Amino acid sequence: MLSCLDEFDTVSKAFKLGIHDYILKSELEKENLLAALDSVAEAEGAGPAPIQGLRSPQRNFADLLHAGEGNDAACVENAGVRERLEDLGFASGTLMLAILAFKHVYSGDFSVEEWPVDMDMCITLVDQQLAPDRIGSAFQDSPDRILVVLEGDDGFREKRMAFLSALQQELDTYFNRTYLICKSAVHPVTEIRAAYEEAASVLKDFGFYYHRSQILAHERFADHPARDRLEVPDPKSLLTDHDGSWRKDWERFFQDLEAHRPAPTQAAMALLRYWEDLESWAEKAFQWALGPIGDSFRVYENLRTIDDSLVLGRWFLAALEAVNGEARARHLSDRISGRIIYLINERYRDRLTLASLAKTFHLNPNYICDLFKRDTGVNFIDYLNRVRVERAIDLLFSGELTAEEVCFRVGFHNPSHFSRVFKKVTGSTITEYRTGNHRQPESTT
């Protein structure tokens, strides 16, 4: 179904992709919708019509790749790679290989959302862009990746660039997902496995640090220096620091990660070792098990599935914040400030004020204000705002609520005031935070 599309060209492209019918908004009633769905189901039952004039009769790239196994060029040729490529219409003796992969989508708790990409539609888009100049073939490399083998000779250079540019436009039009196109250098057709491994290494080792859709070429990273070791902050400081300085150390760590881009597996192992040390120290020094907050296995699972360094940073800082918050609460558990912190975390949606706390604890509001500032290093209202903004970030990141809905959900009562407080706490506007173009927030705790 199409709605609110002013550009006829977009509508035309949609129909070419196989749109069966459309319903105008003015005609969108139950009977019309059910009739249209029945019509689509009936048409789909007959199976999609074959794509005409395209050069991708086989979709399993593994068959082609395995045909090229072996180190000896003559052996590879005898295995049939050159013949298979010729059957697909390749005219030159060289090739370039590109992998198209879509990045994960994350919910507010940083788990990967089940949001599959229609790969049949995607590979159709790729084929349609390849067809006019007949410069390559597309294959489905895995459930969420497409691999494109392109003619590698210099005479096809401009056509390759035109294809990649047109493909980006189509992907941006039809898919609301971040994607990366990782391409190898030009190789002889007998080195197809080397070309594949080059493109795959770009995706694996560097795609982690790119957060917007773009093309990444192997040559760009060929001389990237390796990091011998990643220095993580001392886990003891997280459990004993009650003024928020631990957060600045970790923000510097993740900024360094973005700047130097070590292998994602290296970063994951450094964080996992840190968490294991943190568990050990908490148990030995404080007889405190981190299990309810996050054991090593849960941390490992997140490190294994997160495919974006910014998401990794947000998730890990949130996990550390939870541990530090628990440590702070334990430290203050027998004091009034600890009870106030507990109250704020439980009732941040309510109209909490110093006056209401004074009635709860039967104390003078000024005394509560001074006591809280002395114990925590931050004003009561600043702490309350920080908690509310942290909850707001989780809701905004999920993308399910508008900024105004989030405002009232976390305890603010004026959207303009919410926007000002959000900018003060995080250093970024709500829009910048949602698009990922933001700075790490400065800690007020």
Q: What is the pLDDT of residues 275-305, one digit of tens each?
A: 999 888 888 766 677 766 667 777 888 888 8
| Residues 314, 410 within the same domain | yes
* C-alpha to C-alpha distance for 330 and 400, rounded to whole angstroms: 34
Burial 55-76 (b: 16+ CB within 10 A, else e): bbeeeebeebbebbeeeeeeeb
Decide if 367 contacts 340 (C-beta within 8 A): no
CATH code, domain carrying 215: 3.30.70.1230
56 within domain boundaries: no
Same domain, 38 and 67: no
User: Is residue 50 a part of any domain in this protein?
Assistant: no
Model confidence at 439: pLDDT above 70:
no
Residue 2 located in a structural domain = no
197, 221, 245 - which closes a domain = 221
User: Of 65-69, 297-301, 302-306, 336-340, where does mean pLDDT reach its minimum?
Assistant: 65-69
pTM beyond 0.75, yes or no: no
CA atoms within 13 A on the CB side of 302: 22
Apex 183 CA angle, 182 and 189, nearest 5: 145
Specify whether 132 is located in the same domain as 155.
Answer: yes
- The span from the CA of 157 to the CA of 186, in Å, is 10
- Per-residue pLDDT band at 108 (split at 50, 70, 90): confident
> Which pLDDT score is estimated for 445?
41
Range of weakest confidence among 21-25, 132-136, 225-229, 240-244: 21-25
The token duo for 28 is: 């969108």
| Angle at 238 (CA atoms; ends 237, 242), nearest 5 degrees | 90
Sorting pLDDT into bands at 50, 70 and 90, what band is 69?
very low
- 370 with 312, same domain? yes
Q: Is the pLDDT of residue 245 over 90?
A: no
Domain that holds residue 33: 8-45
Name which of 81, 119, 84, 85 is nearest 100 in CA terms: 119
In-domain check, residue 38: yes
- 34 band by pLDDT with thresholds 50, 70 and 90: confident
> Is 229 inside any structural domain?
no
217 with 265, same domain? Answer: no
Lowest mean pLDDT among 178-182, 198-202, 221-225, 259-263: 221-225
pLDDT at 86: 67
Q: Phi-psi category of 426—alpha, beta or left, where left has phi over 0 and alpha has psi -120 to 50?
A: alpha
Evaluate whether residue 253 is within a structural domain: yes
Give the torsion through C-alpha atoms of 215, 220, 225, 226, to 10 deg.
30
Pair 249, 152 in one domain: no
Task: Supply the pLDDT for residue 432.
Answer: 83
The pLDDT value recorded for residue 406 is 93
Q: Given pLDDT bands bounded at 50, 70 and 90, which one contains residue 190?
A: confident
SS3 179: strand
Residue with tokens 């890990």: 316
Answer yes or no: is 442 within a domain. Answer: no
Do 390 and 242 have their domain in common?
yes
pLDDT band at 368 (very low <50, low <70, confident <90, very high): confident
Residues 358 and 299 in one domain: yes
Are residues 337 and 306 part of one domain? yes
Residue 77 pLDDT level (bands cut at 50, 70, 90): very low
- Is 254 found in the same domain as 371? yes
Answer whether residue 110 shows pLDDT above 80. Answer: yes
Residue 312 sits in a domain of what CATH number? 1.10.10.60
Which amino acid is residue 212, in one-letter code? R
269 in the same domain as 127: no
Q: At which of 156, 187, 221 does a domain end?
A: 221
Within this chain, do residues 108 and 34 fall inside the same structural domain, yes or no?
A: no
* Counted domains in the chain: 3
Non-local CB neighbours of 201 within 8 Å, separated by 6+ positions: 218
Residue 53 domain flag: no
Q: What is the pLDDT at residue 183?
A: 95
Please state, in angstroms and rounded to a whole number, the distance separating the CA atoms of residues 69 and 190.
Answer: 9
- Where is the domain boundary, 188, 221, 254? 221
